[in-house]
Amino acid sequence: MITPLVAGLLVSPFGDDPAQTLRYEKPAEKFYEAMPLGNGRIGALVFGGTKEERIVLNESTLWSGSPYDADRKDAHKSLPEIRRLLLEGKNKEAQQLVQKTFVCQGPGSSYGHAKDAPYGAYQVFGNLRLTHTEGPGQEPRLGLYLPGAFAVVGEITTAFVSKPDEVFVYSNPVWNRSFTLTFDRAENCTITSKGNTISVRGQLKSGQSGIEGVRFAGEIRVVLNGGTVEPVGNGLKVNPTQGYMIIASLGTSMFDKGFEKTVGQRLESATKKSLLNLQERHRKDFEKFYNRSRIELPWAGSASQKPTDERLVNNAKGAHDPSLAALYYNFGRYLMISASRPDSPLPMNLQGIWAEELQTPWNADFHLNINLQMNYWPAEITGLGDCAKPLFEFTKKMVPNGSKTAKAYYDAPGWVAHFATNPWFFTSPGEDASWGSTVSCGAWLSAHMWDHYAFTGDKKFLKDVYPTMKGAAEFFLSMLIKEPKHGWLVTAPSNSPENAFKLGDDNLTTCMGPTIDNQIVRELFTNVHKSAKILGLDEDFAKKLEQTIPQLAPTRLGPDGRIMEWLEPYPEPEPKHRHVSHLYGLHPAFEIDVDKTPALAEGARKTLAARGDDGTGWSLAWKINFWARLRDGEHALLQLNKLLRPTGSEGFNYSNGGGTYKNLFDAHPPFQIDGNFGATAGIAEMLMQSQPGEIILLPALPKAWAKEGEVKGFRARGGLTVDFKWEDGKIVSHKVSGRGASKVKVRGPGLVETR
């Protein structure tokens, strides 16, 4: 039974806390203007149309493609020759040989167009359309209330995706005019209607003959307080007399052989509950995550109360609206809770769980040379470390394929992962030598496992993930070679992600020992060594790591004072390239530190100055974190404001194209969600940073935020929770809780260092 009792509660987002609400005075016209909802598996985007409401539905496991063996079994036979060429400085010839013998077998990711190929692509589930047949529909207002995870259309129409009930719900408790409800999908789908339910069945292409692709099912039901529902074609004609509720249950065969039964059971269970019951179960569940942390930044009066799209425009013009940054921070946390729950079947992809295409950009896969990792940067510090569990489980499941790839290409033990992967754990090098040979991606994923332990102190977790981390270290112990000039141990072959260097008249990418690899491998060996000591395991292996670490190529300054990206100070064909991978040691690692390595920190400043302040969305987000680690709040805010530039760009733009869409989705462009999470992490890094035994409060506070502010629920390494307030740029109160809180050093402006 539908009840209007909650209607007043859900209208309240309009005009409420500007750091908690997105609101607009007109409906969305495009995907990146719509309101995102999700429960870690089901995603929805609500447009709020006045005549026709469009709702894009997603299910995180709806992927085309299928498992296929992309390893070249004899690739390792060409490895000695590739390395010989690299050691002799013949990078061009080495790259040609890599392209010929050392890329994946088959089409790989099909250069981001694998919808019908074995690699596959994440795809939209379909569109749900509600068309009003009696005059105009809702009022032209649209909003998203973050604390409760409700979208609001007009005055009292609401939508949410429930985790407890695993369904999408769209409702209006008082509507009494007729409308039609239809569902559409461009291909591979059968739609039928019966009674008050639309049924969806389909199967995606596997990309391989004789192999079954992922099957999917949806059940969409209309529930009325009064009135009639009748099938019309493949849709429903709805004549309510006192409101309606639309409930959708979705599922696929990827991890559930009985998915059709599961979909039906979830629908039946949900439709037996009242709207109030569904809403309250959803709200309480979401708040358990959302309320773990919050930040408050100064309000700017009427500027903060404008519609969200106007706030973006005004901010770009220089308006003072600090709470917009707080809104963006809260929105990033909201997206993580909505797209990645502890039991989510997959980690977040390039678009989280939200897509409207069949051929999504770059297949909306899991890019491993920063993008998947960036998705989870905010998890630990914001108190959402358990939401990163899908990433940890996914990484562990990559090991079997990664072990085969390590053997096939490097004749090495352990496991390896390269540029990108999919739900079937593709670990082979990519199809192009210019980017597909990035070899340190699995080690980067392993860093997230150590970081979770560093934040929580959970030894049971560390013991569980230790074999995965150890396997990554075993691989590099075996595959590293000595470069000829200094005798340092380096990777070969590899890439500095997606960037090129000039050698003679050629722009090349294949190299040995790019700086990012050296930094990641050093971090990996250090973390695995510490883990072995903590767990009392593998004494000999730990000793081997300890002995090897000093032999790794160090991070160095070039003749111009910048951090060198490669072993040699090669000229750069694109000096302002979007990737700044050689500053991995500054962030997310701690190898470059203002206090401990001031010369390298200055080199990082010069590197960032040379790269420039523009870039794609995720690149701008990474630069926020870089400048925060350099404790330059003004420059960090400059980068954040560049990221918040409003854009409607739909094409692919790799230079100076980054910005923010109306619904606060990050614009690479096109939409790529890692920038949202990278910037969320960056805002947190501006306000607090931690290393074992030390917490720095307000390390990069810009003047615009200095008047007053408060943080509650930040997490620090060592299993600590931190709350603090500031006024006029100085800490006025702080509290550190958790085991070991009395031993940690806390410092910040206006604060005497404490233990």
Confidence of residue 8 (pLDDT cuts 50, 70, 90): very low
Torsion of Cα atoms, 290 then 292 then 296 then 301, to 10°: 30
What type of residue is 142?
Answer: L
Q: What are the CB-based long-range contacts (under 8 Å, 24+) for 434-437?
A: 434/95, 434/495, 434/498, 434/500, 434/509, 434/510, 435/369, 435/495, 435/497, 435/498, 435/509, 436/103, 436/104, 436/108, 436/495, 437/98, 437/102, 437/103, 437/493, 437/494, 437/495, 437/509, 437/510
Assigned token pair, 713:
């629920």
Neighbouring residues of 364: CB distance < 8 A, sequence distance ≥ 6: 121, 122, 349, 350, 351, 355
Of 621, 626, 553, 638, the closest CA to residue 583 belongs to 626
Cα–Cα distances in angstroms (integers) from residue 306 to residues 101, 181, 292, 300, 310, in the given order? 57, 33, 27, 11, 6
Q: What is the pLDDT of residues 611-638, one digit of tens each?
A: 999 999 999 999 999 999 999 999 999 9
Cα–Cα distances in angstroms (integers) from residue 38 to residues 45, 163, 669, 671, 744, in the given order? 9, 8, 22, 17, 38
Q: What are phi and psi of 190, to 5 degrees?
A: -120, 130
Q: Can you tell me the distance from the alpha carbon of 53 to that of 47, in angstroms, rounded to the nearest whole number? A: 6
Q: What is the pLDDT of residues 477-524, one digit of tens each?
A: 999 999 999 999 999 999 999 999 999 999 999 999 999 999 999 999
User: What's the average model confidence in pLDDT over 270-292?
Assistant: 97
Of 323, 444, 425, the closest CA to residue 377 belongs to 444
Cα–Cα distances in angstroms (integers) from residue 711 to residues 293, 296, 443, 708, in the given order? 8, 6, 32, 11
Assigned token pair, 340:
């990645």
Q: What is the pLDDT of residues 440-479, one digit of tens each?
A: 999 999 999 999 999 999 999 999 999 999 999 999 999 9
Within 13 A of 691's CA, how many CA atoms are on the CB side?
A: 12
What type of residue is 644?
Answer: L
In eight-state DSSP terms, residue 576 is T
Kindly state the percentage of the chain with pLDDT values over 90.
92
Neighbouring residues of 695: CB distance < 8 A, sequence distance ≥ 6: 688, 689, 716, 720, 722, 736, 744, 745, 746, 747
Q: Can you tell me the distance from the alpha carbon of 182 to that of 133, in angstroms, rounded to the nearest whole number? A: 13
In the chain the domains, ranked by start, together with CATH numbers, are 4-64+118-291 (2.70.98.50), 92-99+376-582 (1.50.10.10), 698-754 (no CATH)
Model pLDDT, residue 1: 31
Is the per-residue pLDDT at 681 higher than 90?
yes
Cα–Cα distances in angstroms (integers) from residue 327 to residues 150, 295, 437, 683, in the given order? 16, 9, 38, 11
Q: How far apart are the first and last CA of the chain?
A: 57
Pairing of β 708-716 and β 294-296:
antiparallel
Q: Convert 507-566 into a string of H (helix), E (strand) and C (coil).
A: EECCECCCHHHHHHHHHHHHHHHHHHHHHCCCHHHHHHHHHHHHHECCCCECCCCCECCC
Q: What is the pLDDT of residues 49-97, one digit of tens each?
A: 988 999 999 999 999 999 999 999 999 999 999 999 999 999 999 999 9
Model pLDDT, residue 755: 55
Neighbouring residues of 39: CB distance < 8 A, sequence distance ≥ 6: 161, 162, 163, 166, 338, 341
Q: Can you tell me the distance from the alpha carbon of 218 to that of 5, in angstroms, rounded to the nearest whole number? A: 29
Q: Identify whether the C-beta of residue 517 lies closer than 8 Å to the C-beta of residue 481.
A: no
Q: Can you tell me the distance from the alpha carbon of 416 to that of 394, in angstroms, rounded to the nearest whole number? A: 14
Confidence of residue 138 (pLDDT cuts 50, 70, 90): low
Conformation bin of residue 73: beta by default, left when phi > 0, alpha when psi is -120 to 50: alpha
Q: What is the pLDDT of residues 218-258, one digit of tens each?
A: 999 999 999 999 999 999 999 999 999 999 999 999 999 99
Is the per-residue pLDDT at 655 higher than 80?
no
Q: Identify whether the C-beta of residue 2 lies closer than 8 Å to the C-beta of residue 243.
A: yes
Q: What is the pLDDT of residues 392-411, one digit of tens each?
A: 999 999 999 999 999 999 99
Confidence of residue 437 (pLDDT cuts 50, 70, 90): very high
Model pLDDT, residue 657: 81
Of 284, 258, 29, the closest CA to residue 149 belongs to 284
Neighbouring residues of 344: CB distance < 8 A, sequence distance ≥ 6: 40, 41, 60, 389, 390
Q: Can you tell me the distance from the alpha carbon of 449 to that of 380, in angstroms, rounded to the nearest whole number? A: 11
Confidence of residue 139 (pLDDT cuts 50, 70, 90): confident
User: What's the average model confidence in pLDDT over 689-714?
Assistant: 97
Listing DSSP states for 227-252 in one string gives EEEEEETTEEEEEESS-EEEEEEEEE
Is the per-residue pLDDT at 2 higher than 80?
no
Confidence of residue 137 (pLDDT cuts 50, 70, 90): low
Q: What are phi and psi of 109, to 5 degrees?
A: -85, 5
Q: In what order do the strands lie in the sheet with 157-162?
A: 21-24, 142-145, 150-153, 157-162, 167-172, 244-252, 215-224, 197-203, 189-194
User: What's the average model confidence in pLDDT over 7-27?
Assistant: 71
User: What's the average model confidence in pLDDT over 425-452?
Assistant: 98
Across the chain, mean pLDDT equals: 95
User: What's the average model confidence in pLDDT over 311-324?
Assistant: 95
Q: What angle do CA 683, 626, 722 make, to 5 degrees?
A: 40
Within 13 A of 510's CA, how many CA atoms are on the CB side?
A: 30
Q: Which helix (H) or strand (E) holds 746?
A: strand 745-748
Q: Can you tell me the distance from the alpha carbon of 478 to that of 414, in angstroms, rounded to the nearest whole number? A: 9
Cα–Cα distances in angstroms (integers) from residue 111 to residues 19, 34, 118, 436, 691, in the given order? 39, 28, 13, 10, 39
Model pLDDT, residue 515: 98
Pairing of β 189-194 and β 179-184:
unpaired
E strands, 629-743, where?
A: 659-660, 666-667, 688-691, 694-697, 708-716, 720-727, 730-737
Model pLDDT, residue 155: 85
Q: Can you tell me the distance from the alpha carbon of 459 to that of 738, in angstroms, rounded to the nearest whole number? A: 16
Q: What angle do CA 640, 646, 652 make, to 5 degrees?
A: 95
Q: Which residue has the tokens 């695993």?
A: 166
What type of residue is 311?
Answer: R
Model pLDDT, residue 12: 43
Q: Convert 579-617 into a string of H (helix), E (strand) and C (coil).
A: CCHHHCCCCCCCCCCCCCCHHHHHHHHHHHHHHCCCCCH
